[in-house]
Amino acid sequence: MSPDASDEVLPPNHQEFPDGSLLRVVFHNFLTYEHTCFVPTASLNMILGHNGSGKSSIICGICLACGGSPKSLGRSEKIIEYIRHGCQEGYVEVTIADEKKGPQTVRLTIRIGKAPEYKLNGAQATQSDVNELRKYYNIQIDNPCAFLAQDKVKSFSEQSSIELLKNTEKAASDDLDKKHRDLVEQRKDTMTIEEMCSTTEKTVKHLEDSRTKILPLVENYRKKLALQTKLRILQKKMACVKYEQADKEYQAELKRADEALVEYRRVENDIRKSEEVMKKLNDRLQKERAQMAELTRAANGNLVEIQDKFNKNLIGNMMEKAKMKLENAERIADEHNQEVEKTRKNIETVTEKLEEANEALVGYDDALVEYRRAEAKLSQLERENRREEDAIHAKSYELRRLEDKSREKDNETSNFMKQRYRVLQEANEDLAKAWTWCRKNRQQLKGEVYTPLIDIVLNTPESAKNLENTIGMRDRQILVCQFKEDELLVNGKHQPWSINTAVVSQNNIHRDEIHATLSSELHQAGFKDLVSNCFDAPDTLKQYLCNVSGLNRIPYGTIDESKLESITERLERLRFSVFLANGMRFQATRSRYNQQKNISTQTSLRDARTWKDPVYRQPLTLKKADNTAAQEYQKLKQEFDNQTEDLREKRRNVQKERDVLKKTQLEWKSKQELQAKYRATLNTEKRRLEIIQKESFDLSKAQEEYANVEQTVMEKARAMLEKNLHNQKEYIEKYRELGRCAVFESICKLKVTKLYAKSNESREELNNLEDARRLAEDEMNAAMNKRKVAQESLKTHCELDHLNEAKMEPADKKLYSKMIELFEESNVPTQIDDLEQAITSEKTRLKVAQDSGEDGSIEHEHKLSEINSELANATSKYEKLIQNRQGVHDKLGTEIKEWKEEVEKMIERINENYIKFFDVLGCRGEVSLETPENPLDIEKYGIMIMVCFRKGENMKRLDNKVQSGGERSVATMLYLLALQQLCPVPFRCIDEINQGMDPTNERKVFDIMVGLWNGTSGSLTKTQYFLLSPKLLHGLDMRDNVNVVMVNSTLNTSHGQLYNSISKIRKTFTHLRIAE
């Protein structure tokens, strides 16, 4: 190369160069060169020179001019450092062959203090334009399989099998590379589903454990409930039996009372009949007497008529007026008697009701005394409550004082909180805004809200590194709430931020998890403690981190690596799958495809980033052990809340007792009012009776007046009879009738006397029956009271007023039928003694169950129901996720299988060339596809290179810790050569690949390369190659198509000639006096 070579120089046969090949490279103030033009050939270009001569500058210039990044060179990442020392600007220009368009020139100009400038065919261009041109010619500057800079040779041999597969796909097929990347993205989606499955599975397991814990309490509660139910059934049956027995006794007493009453009525009826007969006889007697009087009056009338026959009309008028006056007096007398009788009946009725009211008021005085005593007691309780309220007010003042004191403590910790807040704001601005909102709106939240970047306090400096390698990024930037309502309020749709939140209620905090301790067995193995104990945090936050990251099951410390296998087995036996030790993270998992196989992975621990700030090792003031003010505040606040709640409960109880007393007093008042009402009514009726009885109606006077009128008329009639013979005879006949009536009157008087004697005897018998009837009524009332008591018990236990199904309402009938069925199903005894024995037995069993210690409640029953519901939902969700995962796995498996078939074909072709090249060396080597245990782990597929450089040894995997540098260089170079047939790029560059090769292998590799370029088929015969080396072996097969370029920074301008043949090289060596 000559520094003053013309930029216009192109190879004479440049039109024969394949498209994309380099025709010329010009350097101006670039690294080693002041101004140099390099013109390569279309085949192999061997660039030789001692270290520091500027060989690698050619590769760097080609890379940068083709739009490559300085990072791919392994040197400085600042492009201005590629300017020649002492210069302000420089450029490198490449000319690319194109049969149709002609040579394409790309120039990269670098200036200090300015951005790099590209020109395409002399016109301004961008790096994107250059990248498009590079893609058009398939120039793969960023692929180490096609462009391997000096400082990247070692990293190429050290790259993992996964990276090797990716780079091989980039070199061999863009479709395979794109399909591989798409499959990796799909696998990430499936991993999300698998994480959801794992989370849901843990949820199901947690719910099952919770159900197992609460089930004994619920079963004990159900047992007590069953015993209580059985006891209530027995009590209902006892109430029914007692009511039936009481009702039966009452009916018997009622029957006896009825029989006594019937007998009493019979005698009373006999007396009545006797009196009726006597009355009839008296009536007949009165009638006969009246008839006699009538006959007398008639006779007298006849006499009057006879005597006063001429005043007939006057006599009739007189008699008519006297008769009307007599009838009117009789009517008034009857009405008066009826009114008296009615008033007497009213008095009897009111008297009976008054007696009932008096009976209802029996015990009122005792109840009044008890009421006053209870009222005094309640007043005393109220005074005590007021004194307690005054004490609570005094305590509230003390509580406010402690709050002010706590606020002063909070101000002291504001600097720590500000530093933590800055870390939070830098990590996630939305999360910082949400946390600030929670602080300002704390009164709207039911509980506290925590985040790991604020509320974690590290115990030791190494704690930050432990958390960095155990807690996921999502779980570091999250808000953990204590209530679901708070989560909806903080992260609802109305909020402007998008953050991650979670809920851990107080019921879901397990002390044995967040305060787990390291077993002595693990401590002896070298472990220091559990990750969950290397930091302090609120229980809610620590429980969440234990749930999602399993910190309570990750030990850390320093172990003896020679005992790693036994320690892993011991941890697996203890169901520990992850542990941190010796700067590594170990994870042991059981294969999903072979449950008998364990998979162990090791990764280096990442340095702490999230909690690296020293502020996280400063404890928060409110969490200090000596923070007596906070403890005193919490204690006083708890006492204040307890006393306030107790006072409320006492006042509720007092009010309940007052309500009961008031109700009882109202009932007594109602009875008193009813008694007063009946007493007033009775007095009114008695006064009315007295008034009515004082009224007198003299019926005899009216009868006497009527008799006087009649006498007058009779006297006048007698005068008429005297004058009339006919009337005289009639008068005599009537007197005869009067004689007969007198005889009949005597007979009636005799009968009346006999009946009166008989009536007296019956009254004596009636008096005896009255005593028997009253005794029967007393016994009946006693039975009735007993039945009332039984009826009240029946109402209390069975909600029925009676057991007569015919008289029941439809609802009562339904209740009664169900109760009878319940008795039959429960095989309840029917005898009172058996029932009492059974009730005593059930009460004893219930007492034993209550004293057993496992006291369940309805809350446990509801909690179990909630857990069963959540478990059903979680199980259903888990099954659906499993189905979705299977569907996604099937689809992904099919696509991976298709991709794998294409990759295996590619690798098979590479392997054929690789085996053939190693045979030339007298060694063995092969290339195969490394398949992970899980075929779906597309990101874990790689290319495995197995080599053996010595006879009698087994092939070993190519590794920077196993093979020497020279062996790795040979294996790498042969792999690149084997890949060439699949990678049709216009040119390749490899810088000092033969470093460390022994001369024999280097010569063989060189012969292989020359043989490939001299072939007539294959993509390598059309590929331009740049091979840089600091040395040149003797006796190499230097054919005419091998272009050897010498680079020596000490030569002058006359030495910069273009050498294209072996003869010219030998002449040059002779001229320079260099031995061959």
d(CA 233, CA 245): 18
pLDDT value of residue 699 = 64
Helix (H, G, I), strand (E, B) or coil at 479: strand
Amino acid in position 159:
Q
Using the predicted structure, report yes or no on whether residue 94 has a pLDDT greater than 90.
yes
d(CA 361, CA 678): 13
Least trusted range by pLDDT, from 182-196, 931-945, 1026-1040: 1026-1040
pLDDT value of residue 1056 = 44
pLDDT value of residue 1059 = 42
293-317 average pLDDT score: 62
Using the predicted structure, report yes or no on whether residue 641 has a pLDDT greater than 80.
no
Q: Report the Cα 1008 to chain-centroid distance in Å.
A: 70
Using the predicted structure, report yes or no on whether residue 294 has a pLDDT greater than 80.
no
Mean pLDDT score across all residues of the chain? 77
Structure tokens at 483: 């209530």
Using the predicted structure, report yes or no on whether residue 4 has a pLDDT greater than 70.
no
692-720 average pLDDT score: 68
Q: State the pTM of this model.
A: 0.38
Give every CB contact of residue 111 below 8 A, 6+ residues apart in sequence.
80, 88, 89, 117
495-509 average pLDDT score: 91
Question: Is-contact 315 713, C-beta < 8 A?
Answer: yes
pLDDT value of residue 1057 = 47
**Residue % of the chain over a pLDDT of 70:** 79
pLDDT value of residue 310 = 45
959-971 average pLDDT score: 76
Give which of 419, 531, 421, 517 is closest to 467, Cα–Cα: 531
More confident residue, 731 or 550: 550
Given the DSSP bridges, would you call strands 500-503 and 578-581 parallel, antiparallel or unpaired?
Answer: unpaired
Alpha carbon distance, N-terminus to C-terminus of the chain: 21
Question: Is-contact 529 568, C-beta < 8 A?
Answer: no
302-315 average pLDDT score: 56
| pLDDT-derived band at 1013, boundaries 50, 70, 90 | low
Proportion of the chain in helix, strand, coil states, percent, rounded to 5: 65, 10, 25
pLDDT value of residue 1022 = 65
471-499 average pLDDT score: 90
Least trusted range by pLDDT, from 401-405, 691-695, 949-953: 401-405
Helix (H, G, I), strand (E, B) or coil at 530: strand
d(CA 390, CA 396): 10
More confident residue, 303 or 293: 293
Using the predicted structure, report yes or no on whether residue 672 has a pLDDT greater than 90.
no
| pLDDT-derived band at 950, boundaries 50, 70, 90 | confident
d(CA 906, CA 35): 43
* Domain chopping of the chain, boundaries: 1-139+988-1076, 149-172+867-984, 310-362+628-723, 414-619
DSSP letter assigned to residue 33: E
42-57 average pLDDT score: 80
* Bridge partners of residue 173, in order along the sequence: none
Give the torsion sign (CA, 212, 217, 223, 229): negative
pLDDT value of residue 231 = 67
Helix (H, G, I), strand (E, B) or coil at 905: helix
Task: Please give the CATH topology (third level) of the domain spanning 1-139+988-1076.
Answer: Rossmann fold (3.40.50)
More confident residue, 267 or 206: 206
Residue with tokens 């999230």: 610
| pLDDT-derived band at 625, boundaries 50, 70, 90 | very low
| pLDDT-derived band at 1070, boundaries 50, 70, 90 | low
pLDDT tens across 589-612, in order?
765 555 555 667 788 888 888 888
Instruction: From residue 786, give the alpha-carbon distance in Å to each of 234, 764, 789.
Output: 20, 34, 5
Check for a shared fold between 1-139+988-1076 and 149-172+867-984.
Answer: no
| pLDDT-derived band at 492, boundaries 50, 70, 90 | confident
| pLDDT-derived band at 5, boundaries 50, 70, 90 | very low
| Phi, psi (degrees; rounded to nearest 5) at 570 | -65, -40
**Structural Rg of the chain based on CA atoms:** 63
pLDDT tens across 867-889, in order?
888 888 888 877 877 877 777 77
Give which of 859, 382, 399 is closest to 650, Cα–Cα: 382
Kindly report the CATH number that applies to the domain delimited by 149-172+867-984.
1.20.1050
Residue with tokens 């969700």: 877
* Strand order, beta sheet including 22-30: 33-38, 22-30, 89-96, 104-111, 117-120, 123-125
